Structure 1
Amino acid sequence: MSGPYEHPFPSAQSYPAAQPYSQPAALPSSNAGWAVVAIIFFWPLAIPAFNHALKVHPLWMMGDVQGAQHSSNRAGFFGKLSLIIFGAFIVLYLAFVGLVVANM
């Protein structure tokens, strides 16, 4: 039943509810710099560091945002771990040299 004074648009209840706008997740850093640190200071950890650093972009492009973030975090972890191991080796070396010099 359509009359001249009837509202031309359907009621507001027939429209779907507005969805909040969500921004797409930003590409996480690949932490390739930490992988380079791993090469310089403790090369055995550079292999998994680069492996994870190079997986960040492909995972993100496939839509696996959590996987890309995980790979980014792991690449940084291996780089930082290599720096810590190098520091521990330096401390042990200096302690050894100190013991040798003290016993002379």
Structure 2
Amino acid sequence: MFKSFTSRVAVLSVVALAALPAFAKTAAEIQADADAKATQAQATQDVAASESESSAAAQADGKAGRAAKHAKKAAKESKEASKVADKAADLQTKADKKAIKESK
């Protein structure tokens, strides 16, 4: 795998640097990431709601094909919003745990 002693030392150096606490995010940084993800989830959900409204309007106008297109896009956006919201919740949990750890 490693052809020389120097390459082994280089790899170990990188691994050791990555393990240093200076590279770890603080609770505030994780919280900022969680807030950004939550904002992204809300924006995506807003797009889904808009598509859903467009679908309902097209359905009312008797345009079934267009209504289906908007409904499909609304479902896709809603699913994406759910995934992003889950990531935001995970980051929030991580931030909470980190804050507790930092306060000790």
TM-score (norm 2): 0.46
Where relative contact order (Cα < 8 A, 6+ residues apart) is larger, the structure is 2
Question: Greater helix percent: which structure?
Answer: 2
Bigger-Rg structure (1/2): 1
TM-score (norm 1): 0.46
